[in-house]
Amino acid sequence: MIFDSLENSEMYKGLPARICEGLQFLRETSPDIASGVYQICSGVKAIVSEYETKVENENGFEAHREYVDIQAILAGEERIACFPIDRLKEIKPYSPEDDAAFYAAAPDVEPSYLSLRPGYFAVFWPQDGHMPQLCAISPRMVKKVVVKVKLPERI
């Protein structure tokens, strides 16, 4: 997992080119962008959405096998719980159609939390369980971009 400021995103030029394309899209994206799906290049698309954050995400932690997620907030603030999937219990098996499996934490597991605000991004790899859409203080509307980057060996 990577969590950093978009101002520092140039430091990640050593990552696969498609991830760099996704980071460039985020650097150039205005908060005025319309909700929808944007094809950035082969194997990279951005999904812009608006929703209200939640006190609890009933789906639990998610993880992907075919895509890396790069997540950024354009307006508002969201908390994301994070924990390695090898320490979580699968509660909904992997779906190739959704490229997602869902997990629950044991009662003794205390995840880490990111506060995602405008100007920051997080990269979640297949081993990174993440529970997005959580409210920072109370439920509020956010505008978010999730860049989906197909893993190189799967193109």
- Rounded-to-integer distance, Cα 25 and Cα 72, Å: 11
pTM for the full predicted model:
0.94
Q: What's the average pLDDT block by block, 10 residues per block, for the chain (155 residues)?
A: 96 94 97 98 97 95 97 98 96 96 92 97 98 96 98 65
pLDDT value, residue 73: 98
Phi then psi for 10, rounded to 5 degrees?
A: -65, -25
Spell out the domains of the chain, with CATH numbers in brackets.
2-154 (2.60.120.370)
Say if residues 98 and 63 touch (Cβ distance below 8 Å): no
What's the burial of 30, exposed, middle or buried (CB within 10 Å: 0-12/13-18/19+)? exposed
What's the burial of 46, exposed, middle or buried (CB within 10 Å: 0-12/13-18/19+)? buried
pLDDT value, residue 106: 86
pLDDT value, residue 153: 63
pLDDT value, residue 108: 86
Q: Give, rounded to a whole angstrom, the gap between the first and last alpha carbons of the chain.
A: 22
pLDDT value, residue 155: 43
CB atoms within 10 A of CB 141: 10
What's the burial of 102, exposed, middle or buried (CB within 10 Å: 0-12/13-18/19+)? buried
